[in-house]
Chains A and B, each alone.
Chain A
Amino acid sequence: MNFYAFSFCGAELLALGTGALFWPAERLLVVSDLHLGKSERMARRSRQLLPPYETRDTLARLDALIALHDPACVVCLGDSFDDLDAGHALPEAEVMTLSRLMAGRNWVWIEGNHDPGPLEFGGTHLSELTTGPLTFRHIAQEGARGEVSGHYHPKTSVPLRGRVVTRPSFLVSETRLILPAFGTYTGGLRSTDHALTSLMGPGAYAILTGPLPCAVPLRA
């Protein structure tokens, strides 16, 4: 397991190659935009029949992370379920896995735009959470400081001698941190998109996920 260590607003954090964020001092693990139940929602809403294995896969990867870092607290940064109905329709086996992962630790569901309102799973439901210098919420807010958010699914491209490597990525500025999506069926928004560059401001950088996470300056 490889990671990229960095300081953010006084907190020493690890950007994990899988797209999760770990805060060793607090034993806090953060994952964003799991979009559980996406294929079910697609079938229900748009008549597309995608391979129905993404929930199983997302949870299996989360399982491995939790086994490795043994966090005291897991924060799901919103859009954990693709919508409320997708939460209700989660198959038995996946509900069991989720319950097992949640057992014996603090579990915080931050509210997202895809899954507002309460969910039938345990854990704490919050619109945002503040721990020390950091505030966790789904969508970045104007003028925030020490904010950790998700929602945009950032991805960054780096040209390498004639080919381009594009990976989901963390975006970091002095005041905010945006996480990549952790869910298996998630796309990304280019970090050069206006929506992201205007949020991040000058001097920001991106941490590309992958076997050896690495940072590059954010191109406008």
Chain B
Amino acid sequence: MTQLPAPITQWFARKGWQVHPHQQAMLDARDAPASLLIAPTGGGKTMAGFLPTLAELHDAPRAGLHTLYVSPLKALAADIKRNLRAPVEEIGLDIRIEDRTGDTTYTQKRRQRADPPHILLTTPESLALLLTYEDAPRIFAGVQRIIVDEIHALAESKRGDQLMLALSRLQSLAPDLRRVGLSATVEDPQAIADFLACHPQPTQIIEADPGPDPDISMLETEEAPPWAGGGGKYAIPAVLEQVRAHNTTLIFHNTRAQAELFFHHLWLANEDPLPIGIHHGALAKEQRLKVEQAMVDGSLKAIVCTGSLDLGIDWGDVDLVIQIGAPKNVKRLVQRIGRANHRYNAPSKALLVPANRFEIVECKAALDAALAHDLDGDPRGPGPRDVLCQHILNCAAAGPFDAATLYGEITTAGPYAGLSLEKFEQCLDYCATGGYALRAYDKYQRLVQRGGKWQLRDPRAAAQIRMNLGTIIDTETLKVRLKARRGPGSGGTPLGEIEEGFASTLTQGDTFLIGGQIVKYEGLNEMTVQVTRSPSDKPRIATFMGTKFATSTQLSTRILSILQQDSWPDLPGHTAQWLQLQRERSKLPEPGRLLIESFPRDGRANTVIYGFAGRNAMQTLGLLLTQRMEAQGLHPLGFVATDYAVLIWGLEPLRDPTPLFDMSNLREGLETWLAGNAVMKRTFRNSAVIGALIDRMTRGARKSGRQATFSSDILYDTLRKYDPDHLMLDITREEAMKGLIDFGRVEEMVQRTQGRVDLIELDRVTPLAAPLFLEVGRVPVKGLAEERLLAEEAQRLFDDAKLPEQITAPKRWAVPY
């Protein structure tokens, strides 16, 4: 057993604390090339990560960088700086601790490169950026340890892939480097261990005592939840009662829009009035900081929030977590619950609030899974190649490199351990020449080979590479400010931001919700949306893209097995009756079979497919099936998808479903459909920015007008037309399949049911199908629909505008020839 130095032991004793067993275990494992600590929130995880550093710097004081700490949040780095400086000073250690993030000043950053501190707290992007400087070898030469905090969260995104590539680079510069990962409870610790390891060396896994089981239940309300929708508005009186009965409550929502709406209704009902705040990623920094400070001061009774509060900052005395809407994913639920009772060995208390009738079953399934410690998660695929392309360019910015050496280095990183030489060479060729079938850029190659080493043709390109670094792609947003009372300009209070797509649907006088306030759109001034406060009672809700989670595979399986029960004594009466009625009228979906219902309603033929494959995959299935049905002459008109089913309406009823689910037909349909698909274009844009095909759009560039730049959709269409085998299209296809299209789960559904399709023809809508008719997000089957809408709208606008006769006189006609 490794002993802590006396001053540190004495400090623990003075505080009346004991070294936790997992903290000791981390100390014992300090010489391991990589170690991973899995511990619940509040288990002294960060201290466990830093104790070996403090001990080493006490035993052998030295100058220069000793430990790097990387966290996904800037705020977390700043938080750790405060929390670590106190014990270091109290113990009397001579250790310099500094942070380096996007917020650090230029002068500070310069000084840090010349004279690095002992401990540097940073983010994956700031670390990757540091590694692109020519003096990186000098800065990092002696680094002993790197601590990756919240590694479970980083492993879920491309930021994690980029970080592991940066670590492979760092390991070459500092061969003695040992890696430490700190993780919340996850379903597959070995997967995170493989992700962190310096291959082929192993990672030692240390699992802390998970603590007592959470006290978790469904919130009982007098009113039954509605049949559809996701707001949870019906539960507001019961939620307020809970807030009153606890010190501090966190109220989690799955989307920002729902958080805004719920907060709005909460205030309308909050008669006492209890101090309640709202916190989400699209609010202005000033607004967020105000709420965070109030939280630390303990002056708030509750915060309505989204995932922006998911990560480990300690907000004080939270004793209840309420989750509104089905959690969709058990692991996220468990991590959120961990936010309550931020003290080790005290059970966390949590309440689930199903937003609609079906979510009662979903919440029950999630509750059972959380108590059974049955966490879910999809296995990580191989590391994305757009991130790899960026890494190659980042390396070139730091200086000339040898291709074979770089390949060797990259394959030590977990996500890229299985990368073939061929794929690496394709990426390298793309970085150097653009990778086009038409070899157009011989004169202007980005990378050239000189003396056996690859380097930038034009060294000035390094600055551009640094500008484009990172894997976070912001959706284009506009800032929202209250209009200043005196004069124009953008001097009013900042409220937050909305997506450009939503902003462009606003016209003067429209009202919308932001930060819990109703505001009226006044106009656009230099990329800032100007608003005034407004008392409107029918505000619109700002929409945000890509915030909808799909129900996990494991959770879907549990839901299906609940549906197989003979009766449901543990579900509320109304829900049990509803399921019983479905069983009598039609059938309940089964795990190994595919249930399809067909019935007329409102003069249309309706088909419901209970696929239970999650929202994204069901959406894809809807698109593919309507395409096939169109070809069969069934004239589908539109569809709507949820996590468990897709409802298709059309003119002719479906009689023979079997050929629809033939896997090769579906796959073929997918290829055709992908051609003009918006999801593909969005995925392409992200990969093209990460892979440096196009430059990042900075706010400044957008401000100067769009004439010079053009949409990445044009590049996508051009590549598909003239160079369909291009690497970037291949990457786009791969990324879209695992992301929004989620075709893997469509395949899984087809395999699970193996042609065991039950088509039930009925004369009217069934209980389980009824809520689908209330779902929002209906997708019309594309055709000339958009053109028709456009023509109608144009006519209406002209009629409204009452333009002078000589200009409106021309009549539009269209001749197909």
Q: Is the CB of B715 within 8 A of A49?
A: no
Closest residue on chain B to residue A214 by CB atoms = B794
- Chain B residues near A53: list those with CB within 8 A: 438, 718-719, 721-723
- Chain A residues near B789: list those with CB within 8 A: 160-161
- Chain B residues near A164: list those with CB within 8 A: 501, 504-505
Closest residue on chain B to residue A68 by CB atoms = B817
Q: Is the CB of B706 within 8 A of A212?
A: no
Q: Does B809 contact A (CB under 8 A)?
A: yes
Which of A5, A40, A158, A193 is B793 in contact with, Cβ under 8 Å? A158
Within 8 A of B (CB), among A76-130: 91
Q: Count of A-B contacts with CB under 8 A? A: 158
Interface string of A197-210 (1 = CB under 8 A from B): 00000011100101
Query: Once the chains are docked, how many angstroms separate the CA of A188 from the CA of B454?
Result: 38
Closest residue on chain B to residue A167 by CB atoms = B790
Q: Does B537 contact A (CB under 8 A)?
A: no
Q: Does A140 contact B (CB under 8 A)?
A: no
Interface string of B562-601 (1 = CB under 8 A from A): 0000000000000000000000000000000000000000
Within 8 A of A (CB), among B777-805: 784, 786-787, 789-791, 793-794, 797-798, 801, 803-804
Q: Is the CB of A49 within 8 A of B693?
A: yes
Closest residue on chain B to residue A52 by CB atoms = B440
- Chain A residues near B461: list those with CB within 8 A: 47
- Chain B residues near A32: list those with CB within 8 A: none
Q: Does A190 contact B (CB under 8 A)?
A: yes
- Chain B residues near A214: list those with CB within 8 A: 790-791, 794, 812
Which of B433, B440, B693, B812 is A4 in contact with, Cβ under 8 Å? B812
Q: Within the complex, what minimum Cβ distance (angstroms) separates B250 from chain A?
A: 32
Identify which of A22-30, A141-149, A179-187 touches chain B: A179-187
Q: Is the CB of B444 within 8 A of A216?
A: no
Query: Once the chains are docked, how many angstroms separate the CA of A157 from the CA of B22?
Result: 59
Query: Once the chains are docked, how many angstroms separate the CA of A8 from the CA of B17?
Result: 86
Query: Once the chains are docked, how many angstroms separate the CA of A189 from the CA of B702?
Result: 11
- Chain A residues near B507: list those with CB within 8 A: 159
Please judge, given known A-B contacts A43-B444, A157-B504, A212-B790, whether A187 and B803 are in contact too, CB under 8 Å: no
Q: Is the CB of B707 within 8 A of A212?
A: no
Q: Does B466 contact A (CB under 8 A)?
A: no
Query: Once the chains are docked, how many angstroms separate the CA of A217 from the CA of B709?
Result: 26
Query: Once the chains are docked, how many angstroms separate the CA of A46 from the CA of B692?
Result: 12
- Chain A residues near B798: list those with CB within 8 A: 205, 215-217
- Chain A residues near B693: list those with CB within 8 A: 48-50
Q: Does B695 contact A (CB under 8 A)?
A: yes
Q: Does A165 contact B (CB under 8 A)?
A: yes
Q: Is the CB of B706 within 8 A of A190?
A: yes
Query: Once the chains are docked, how many angstroms separate the CA of A74 from the CA of B458?
Result: 40
Query: Once the chains are docked, how many angstroms separate the CA of A174 from the CA of B436?
Result: 47
Q: Is the CB of B817 within 8 A of A217?
A: no
Query: Once the chains are docked, how many angstroms separate the CA of A203 from the CA of B718?
Result: 37
Residues of chain A at the chain B interface (Cβ within 8 Å): 1-7, 39-40, 43-44, 46-54, 56-57, 91, 152-153, 155, 157-166, 172, 174, 184-190, 193, 203-205, 208, 210-217
Given contacts A162-B505, A212-B790, 19 further A-B contacts (CB under 8 A): A5-B811, A5-B812, A43-B441, A44-B443, A44-B444, A47-B460, A49-B434, A49-B444, A51-B436, A57-B722, A158-B794, A159-B504, A160-B793, A164-B501, A165-B790, A174-B807, A185-B718, A203-B804, A205-B798
Top 9 nearest A-B pairs (CB, nearest first) are: A49-B434, A187-B710, A52-B440, A43-B444, A53-B722, A6-B810, A217-B801, A214-B794, A2-B814
